[in-house]
Amino acid sequence: MDESAEVYRKILNYLYLSLSKTAGKLPFSGRYWLEEVTRGVGQQVLQEFGEGIELQAGHPAAICKSYLSILDRAGILDAGDYRLEEEGENVFVTLERERCVYQDFCQGAGEEGLFFYCPRLGALQAALKQALGVEYSTSVEIDAGAGTCRGRIFPAKLRLKTETVTREGELLKIAGERAVLFTKEMYAFILLAIKDYAPHIMKAVLFDAGYRSSRIIAGYAKQNYADPLDALASLFGEFRNVGLGTAELVSLDPGEGHAVIRCYHSMEVTIAREYPLYRTPRVVCDMLRGKFSAYLSVILERPIICEELKCASMGDDCCEFHAFPSDQEGVVW
């Protein structure tokens, strides 16, 4: 590689590293946008250089091979460096790391704990979408000892709603639906108004709001993840995305319908500490209780109710929720 090409290669890697750092700072959708950028570059290359190339529908590995040959002919890479294997719906791509133009980005992102999407795999992902009309996603495993990386391209799971926040004209949208951002003051004043006008409904309102609003997204998670642990992990990701706190599954027994969940930095605790909502110290996370109850009820396909047994508002280091089936104890929904 001549000196100017090496400079451009470095700049390209700096650009991706910078994008990844910026994506990590976005309150919403950072991971989504980084993936969009890497895939978008691939689409652009395909449009520019792909004229006359036949992408064979139904054979993902062959489609990837055709795409690499486009780049080879354009002098961008050597297609012979890439080993392609197809297993079921997955395409595995193996490459020696020193032959990869994006190795600095890959290594830097790993060292700094940044979001990472392999630009090369993103381009293949775009080619597969164009040929098959199917959304794909990617992951990469590095074998540092062997000096190789092994990428996997696989049909994408549906994203949960809150991963994609966009602004369309004057409107803020989450997954295409009109959305609004509240400051904590706005939320707190709604609660204070409820407390002033109808204090007896406060707990029930919070629980029900959490429960009802979480059933739909829990349904999406269940559709996309057969394993309850994966489904809960995706929901906890959404929970963190929207700023409710950081949820952690301590234990889950699907057969017994029993779970223990912890939540750190609960938004409801912050509100209760700053606004005079209650006379005495108490567990305050009723909306979260409703959300966790809905998650577990949908995923385990039976009515589950969570109770908050520890709460950070009472001096504990986190909030802790214990869930049991409610069909055995007459809880009315």
Would you count residue 272 as binding other proteins (CB under 8 A)? Answer: no
Least distance in Å: CB of 242 to other proteins? 23
Would you count residue 324 as binding other proteins (CB under 8 A)? Answer: yes
206 near 308, Cβ under 8 Å? no
User: Would you put residue 103 in left (φ > 0), alpha (ψ -120 to 50) or beta?
Assistant: alpha
Would you count residue 2 as binding other proteins (CB under 8 A)? Answer: no
Identity of the residue, 21 or 215, whose beta carbon is nearer to other proteins in the bound complex: 215
Sheet harboring 171-174: ordered strands across? 165-168, 171-174, 177-178
Would you count residue 234 as binding other proteins (CB under 8 A)? Answer: no
Q: Within 10 A of 45 (CB to CB), how many other CB atoms are there?
A: 18
Q: Give me the count of residues in the chain.
A: 333
Return all residues near 279 (Cβ < 8 A) that are at least 6 apart: none
Site size with other proteins, rule: CB under 8 A? 24
Identity of the residue, 167 or 279, whose beta carbon is nearer to other proteins in the bound complex: 279
- Distance between CA atoms of residues 119 and 153, nearest Å: 12
Identity of the residue, 105 or 295, whose beta carbon is nearer to other proteins in the bound complex: 295
Q: Which residue has the tokens 């079921």?
A: 88
Instruction: List, in sequence order, every beta strand (DSSP E) within 50-135.
Output: 83-87, 90-96
Q: Show the site string, 198-227: x = touches other proteins by CB under 8 A, - = not.
A: -xxx--x--x--------------------
Would you count residue 133 as binding other proteins (CB under 8 A)? Answer: no
Would you count residue 25 as binding other proteins (CB under 8 A)? Answer: no
Among 287, 306, 312, 318, binds other proteins (CB under 8 A): 306
Binding site for other proteins (CB under 8 A): 199-201, 204, 207, 279-283, 305-307, 309, 314, 322-324, 326, 328-332
